[in-house]
Structure formats: structure tokens, C-alpha cells
Amino acid sequence: MNQHTRLDGSPIPFIDVAAQRRRLGSAIDDAVGRVLAHCQFIQGPEVRALEADLAAFCGAKHVIGCSSGTDALLLVLMAWQIGPGDAVICPAFTFCATAEVVALIGATPVMADVAAGTFNLDPASFERAIATAKQRGLKPKAVIPVDLFGLPADHDAIAAIATAHGIKVLDDAAQAFGATYRGRKLGTLGDATATSFFPAKPLGCYGDGGAVFTDDDALAARVKSLRVHGENAGDKYDALHIGITGRLDSIQAAVLIEKLKIFADEIVARQAVAARYAEGLAGVATTPRTGNESTSVWAQYTIRLEPGQRDALGTALKAQGIPTAIYYAKPLHRQAAYRHYPVADGGVPVSDRLAEEVISLPMHAYLEPAVQDRIIEAVRRALAG
């Protein structure tokens, strides 16, 4: 990125994938070229190499590459044989895929509230959601805590409740792979973890992709079968289970192998950007904070405003070439496809309030200080005016 083009009022990218592409240069071209040369486009050697690299990065025993983060979630629930009559607890303040996979297998998503300070699943509401599920005659089988915007959920508190009730934990780390919780990297918490490699994610490929992480040998074996139509490893025309086409393709794996090499460096850069935002926006907006001895990978930098400020800020920034986004303007329980599903006793008032207050600013590892200062100054001016 030519810095001067970002200081004269010209548009700033929300996530600058092109800047990273320039840094990687010919490494990506060469990696894709190797796949084009050997022509093993599905389940080629790059997929196995990436799975090994990801396992080494986070410490998980098994990594299974998948076609998307949504399929990663779906495959784990399928492997656990969750279905009709079962309940899976989900936060109401998240992207719809978290609850979508539950509905797809015929189970019932039960919406719980989140904590205002972290945007993540509130353990107390999780406990109430379990009671609500039982009152509805459902069997609570799993919980899907979401590590929203790059920050880990309160995994110890969630695990304690899940263990007490015999519930599986599927960590939705679609936005947070690379983050740590009390010294442990995501991918090693819960019974299984799912992540996404959608291009806008902190570790993203050039299409759709995802992965499942687990230390459970039996679960890993079943997920590997289910991602290829439930095949028998010894005979692909003898299906052991009803599965899906959920594979990660070789080209995407090749891209991710190269991106993973610079990922740790990019995480440090993201944290520096977040710290600069926190300092620059102090006193004018509620800035996000980390807790529970966690680190965030800052998939989004999401601030909270007083009611009524958000639309004016978005309009003012857009006029100056500064994009914003709202994640999420409607919690799950208010969306047409999900509004008939149960909500935890006591409701989800924090999710409802956050949906009116949040707005996200440009965030990526290549946001230069001078360009970020332009954003900070524009936010401060708009909110002061």
C-alpha cells in the first residue's frame, strides 16, 4: 500500500488482503504452481502438510482440513450423532452459522446471552439455557461457545458447567484461531474446535476453507470419514456413515501453508494496531478489552457507542473514505430463520443491547500508524461533533 494514497482522503480498505499478498509475493505463486504441476487437486500432499503445520502451531493432536468453517462445525456435530430431540446451546450474538449447523442436523439451537465486556457467551446464561432446554423436553448435548472478534470465550467457566451437565464443548474459533486463553492456544480447548479460513479471517485462504482440531482419536477418525461421504478408509465405495463433501482442496492448503509462516508476526502487528486504537479512542467510545489472561487476534476491532451515535458515525466516516461494518445488527433470536427457537430463561438483553451499540473499524496487520491516526481522528471528530 502506498501510504500517501491513504492520507489524502482516498478510501481505506476495511481488511487489506492485497497488502498481505504483496508481502508474500512469489511464495504464493510458487506454492500454487506446485499443485498445478502435480495435479492432485483434492486431498493432495499439501492438505496433509498443512494439517501437520496447524497441529504444530497450536498443539492439537489431530487437525482435519475442511471445506469451510461451517462444515467444520457441522462435521463435529454429525460425528457426535446429535440430532432431533437434542439441544445445543449457542450465543445469540454471533454469525448465523453457529446455530445453522445445529438446525441442519435436526437438533434445536437454544440461544444464550453474552457478556457485555467480551461479546462472548455468558456462563450464567449458558446454565439457564440448559434449564430452558430441559423444560422444553430437549436433551442438552453440546454447547458452541464462540470466540467472537478474535477473543477467546471464558473456556474454563464454560467447561466446568458443561462437565457438570455431561455436555460436549465445540469451540467455534472461526474468528480467533491464533489466540490464547490462559497460556493455551485455541484448538486445544473443549472436546473439539472448529475454525474458518475464509479470506477475511486473520488466517485466511483464497476461497473457502476450515479445519477441525481435537485430541480425541475416535472423533478425528469419524470426522475424516464424514468429510468424504462417510467413506470406509479401506474402500471408498463402502460408506460407513452418511457424510458430506467437506474436503479442503490442495490449492487452498498450499496458500495457507505460506500464510501460516508469517501468521505469528501478523498477530503481533494486529495487537499493536488494537493497542493504538484503544489509546486513541479512550474517552470517546467503549473500546474492547481482553480478559481471563487471554490474547486476541483481533479479527474485528469493535467499539460500543451510546444509543443513536452509530449511524451518524458510520455516515461521517464513509464520507471520508473510511469503511465500517456492523457485526451484528440482529442477534440470532431476532432473525427470521431462527426466531422460533428457544431463548434462555431471562432472555438475552445484552445481545439485544450490543446489536444497537456496536460498530467495527478497519483492522488488519498492515494498517500503518499514519493511516490509523487518520481513522482515530475522524472518529473523535465525528463523536465530538
pLDDT in tens, 32-70: 999 999 999 999 999 999 999 999 999 999 999 999 999
Last residue of a domain, one of 256, 283, 303: 256
Structural domain contains residue 333: yes
* Average confidence (pLDDT) over 149-166: 98
Is pLDDT at 4 greater than 60 in this prediction?
A: no
Question: 319 Cβ partners below 8 Å, 6+ apart?
Answer: none
User: Are 228 and 357 within one domain?
Assistant: no
Q: How far apart are CA 22 and CA 17, in angstroms?
A: 9
Residues 242, 273, single domain; the answer is no
| pLDDT score recorded for residue 8 | 63
β pairing state of 86-91 and 108-112: parallel
Query: In terms of residue numbers, what domain contains 100?
Result: 23-112+120-256
Domain boundary, last residue among 256, 287, 309: 256
Residues 105 and 82: beta-carbon distance below 8 Å: yes
Residue 16 belongs to a domain? no
Write down the pLDDT at residue 385.
Answer: 72
Per-residue model confidence (pLDDT) at position 7: 62
CA distance 199 to 15: 10
pLDDT grade, residue 233 (50/70/90)?
confident
Which of 4-13, 122-131, 161-170, 185-194 shows the lowest mean pLDDT across its residues?
Answer: 4-13
The verdict on residue 17 lying in a domain is no
In a domain, 130, yes or no: yes
Residue 6: the pLDDT is 60
Contact present, 150 and 176 (Cβ < 8 Å): yes
The domain tally of the chain equals: 2
Cβ-in-10-Å burial (0-12, 13-18, 19+) of 315 comes to: exposed
The tens digit of pLDDT for each residue in 334-377 reads 999 999 999 999 999 999 999 999 999 999 999 999 999 999 99
By C-alpha distance, which of 72, 67, 134 is closest to 98? Answer: 72
247 and 274 within one domain: no
Tell me: do 133 and 206 sit in the same domain.
yes
pLDDT per residue as tens digits for the range 173-190: 999 999 999 999 999 999
Give me 205's grid cell: 485462504
Q: Is 6 inside any structural domain?
A: no
117, with CB counted inside 10 A (0-12, 13-18, 19+), is middle
Q: What is the pLDDT of residue 3?
A: 43
Residue 351 to residue 348: CA distance in whole angstroms: 5
* Bridge partners (DSSP) listed for residue 228: 245
On whether both 357 and 315 belong to a single domain, the answer is yes
In the predicted model, is pLDDT for residue 312 greater than 90? yes
Q: Is it the case that residue 166 has pLDDT exceeding 60?
A: yes
Q: Which of 247, 264, 248, 250 is nearest to 202 (CA)?
A: 264
Query: What is the mean pLDDT of the segment spanning 237-266?
Result: 97
Same structural domain, 77 and 189 = yes
Residue 12 placed within a domain: no
From 256, 290, 320, give the residue that closes a domain.
256
Cα distances (Å, whole numbers) of residue 181 to 125, 279, 358: 21, 23, 24
Residues 184, 53 within the same domain: yes
Whether the predicted pLDDT of 164 surpasses 80: yes
pLDDT value of position 135:
98
User: Do 163 and 311 lie in a common domain?
Assistant: no
Mean pLDDT of the chain: 96
